[in-house]
Copies of this chain bind each other. A is one copy, B any other.
Amino acid sequence: MTGPFDVAVICGGVGAARFLRGLVRAVDPARVCAIVNTADDMRLHGLAISPDLDTCTYTLAEVINPETGWGLVGETWQAKETLDRYGGQTWFGLGDRDLGTHLYRTQRLAEGATLSEATREITAAWDLALSIVPMSDDPVRTRVTVASGETIDFQQYFVERQHADTVTSVEFDGAAVAAPAPGVIDAIATADRIVIAPSNPFVSIDPVLAVPGIREAIIARRASTVAISPIVGGTAIKGPAADLMRSFGHQESAAGVAGVYNEIAEHLVIDDIDAPLTDAVRSAGMTPHVTNTMMSSIDVARDLARFTLDRVVI
């Protein structure tokens, strides 16, 4: 392949961001294209908010807020305090510094820029060498139906209710008529390797795959595609991935993940602790590779990135 990128990574939020942080230390960042879920995006207080794009951008720029895991370091909460006075919605944390990003993106979209363009401008301002690209410039919104029968927006499920509800189904509103953002299909088609980041399969990776053309493009590259299991020792590192595995009839294990990804990826990287599951992964249709996937430091993340890339021989 001779495309512009060596690696295309399908990304959600925190787990993907941590992986990318290692990846840009393992390969030339300019040769990395991160294709990021935007189905968690929302409008709040009139602002265009893209949580996964910002988490990836801030993490790669080394300005993510270490206390919260989202938003910017050195954050203050003055706008929130005023909102509190009015009894406004404050369940979604909007720090003062972070607000500047939402203000900029909202203004650029109002001026007719695409989300890709606004994202490119934002990442350039943080001096990022890798490409961070939204899965689509069209609006796609994850809607979650919970056990009570209610259907709610993803952030309401995830943040406001702290993913305490049992999910019965997930839909990606708008996905059917969305187009992949410019460069997405090309990156997948021409990168040496495609990585499915250790993100939630159902609410972070699935929305990307739901954009017409993306799943098919990855399937065409199945032999060069390697996923990293977000389930370690039967639980998720973070968030509701394990709960969703169960809800959707999969085993809460690395083998269950293999059952979810076997159509799109040949390889599955699983954690040392899950070494006993290699046969089960193979039975589920993927080639297992065992290493330390717990990204407790940048070095571990870099080693995980190297290991992951090396699974695909080119």
A175 at the interface (CB under 8 A from B): no
List, in ascending order, chain B residues with CB within 8 A of A126's CB.
Answer: 85
Min CB distance A179 to B, Å, is 24
Please state if B121 and A100 are interface contacts (CB–CB under 8 Å).
no
User: What's the interface size class on A, roughly?
Assistant: 35 or more
Closest 10 CB pairs of A and B: A82-B100, A46-B106, A78-B96, A45-B103, A96-B96, A79-B99, A88-B104, A79-B100, A46-B46, A86-B104
List, in ascending order, chain B residues with CB within 8 A of A75's CB.
Answer: 78
Nearest opposing residue in chain B for A109, CB measure: B46
Please state if B81 and A97 are interface contacts (CB–CB under 8 Å).
yes
List, in ascending order, chain B residues with CB within 8 A of A76's CB.
Answer: 76, 78, 96
A313 at the interface (CB under 8 A from B): no
Please state if A43 and B122 are interface contacts (CB–CB under 8 Å).
no
Nearest opposing residue in chain B for A101, CB measure: B82
| Complex Cα gap A312–B197 (Å) | 75
Interface residues of A (CB under 8 A from B): 43-48, 72, 75-76, 78-89, 94-104, 106-107, 109-110, 121-122, 125-126
List, in ascending order, chain B residues with CB within 8 A of A95's CB.
Answer: 78
From the candidates B48, B72, B81, B82, name the one contacting A46 in the complex (CB within 8 A).
Answer: B48
8 contacts between A and B (CB under 8 A): A45-B47, A45-B106, A46-B46, A47-B103, A86-B122, A87-B121, A87-B125, A96-B96
Please state if B78 and A100 are interface contacts (CB–CB under 8 Å).
yes
Please state if B79 and A72 are interface contacts (CB–CB under 8 Å).
no
Nearest opposing residue in chain B for A107, CB measure: B45
Known: A43-B110, A107-B46, A110-B46. A121 touches B86 (CB 8 A): yes
Known: A107-B44, A107-B45. A79 touches B82 (CB 8 A): no
Min CB distance A83 to B, Å, is 4
Nearest opposing residue in chain B for A89, CB measure: B107
List, in ascending order, chain B residues with CB within 8 A of A101's CB.
Answer: 82, 86
| Complex Cα gap A86–B126 (Å) | 9
Min CB distance A159 to B, Å, is 16
| Complex Cα gap A48–B78 (Å) | 18
Nearest opposing residue in chain B for A47, CB measure: B46
Min CB distance A126 to B, Å, is 8
| Complex Cα gap A13–B47 (Å) | 26
| Complex Cα gap A100–B103 (Å) | 13
Nearest opposing residue in chain B for A94, CB measure: B103
| Complex Cα gap A143–B139 (Å) | 33
From the candidates B87, B97, B109, B122, name the one contacting A78 in the complex (CB within 8 A).
Answer: B97
| Complex Cα gap A78–B125 (Å) | 16
Min CB distance A275 to B, Å, is 45
